[in-house]
Structure 1
């Protein structure tokens, strides 16, 4: 914002063109046959050229419907891709815990523990094996609570292929086919009918 260049203006124009072409898009919600909490976590290591901080993103689904998502720059610099992914998983786990507490108060908590999906095997190993923590003492202790959640059975972590890692859409630029595929996975698209047509139909009824 302080010293914009031509490339910045071109990027903004590209964003505005996309927004103009997707004004009718919105989140679609359906009644699922069964409820389950599934979270996708991803981080792009040292993406920022100036600060070398990583960008992380996540999406959380309840019964296949997107209920929470975010994309943020991590507050500290990570020394490896494993560390940036692990920190991202910890933040997503905190959001999942908040959602489970809310569902418990509403008496709608699913019986199966939430699942957190990540495409970084090293970060998964770190969350599932306490021995690995000896090699990660430089990571803040606050982030190791995800290991306690896994060991207590309150959350399970699993590997997901990068081509199915929907959180990628929040952390990096993607080829158009992959972007549109992830957009569909997020259940983001045009409505099945026009609002004006729906209103006219309701009047006839």
Structure 2
């Protein structure tokens, strides 16, 4: 039996970012943090389709590591997420909502504000689209190493829900095991931990510079 599926090389495995013509765009809901858009897209021979989606500014996250080679630990944060009714274990993260702030600097700021940590080294770990069927968010995860704690008198003053965000160090191997066992579910933590696990096995040689271009993000040059 002959398969109609073509074979593809590693270099050919690339997402194609070329937005189709938009014939109508309307903000149908204006929220506190993000809006919902309704757009009609022209797919050519496939006709026109209407899609409603959350217009998201994008975000960054930081997987902070400490410890000896082969016994690294990850800094995790517990935060309540109302849409799923859970206190999830996550990694420091935040929206790209400061005009002109480069993504890698936003990541360092989030690490400082949410975890009281500074990084001596920052690399780009992985990029992903959170939920491309209904959310425009592009998210970039960084790897922070050579981390140090911020002095008590120089720490960021947290407010509101950020006052109740427990933190902990946990083995990278244990994070991967917890994910495989279905005990943790936050996609950014999972994506970062799996990527770090692979990068570690490859001797960290596949990491990209923290200031690498982010061409696929519509609002970041």
Q: Using structure 2 for the length normalisation, give the TM-score.
A: 0.22
TM-score, with length taken from structure 1: 0.23
Higher relative contact order (CA 8 A, sep 6+): 1
| Bigger strand fraction | 2
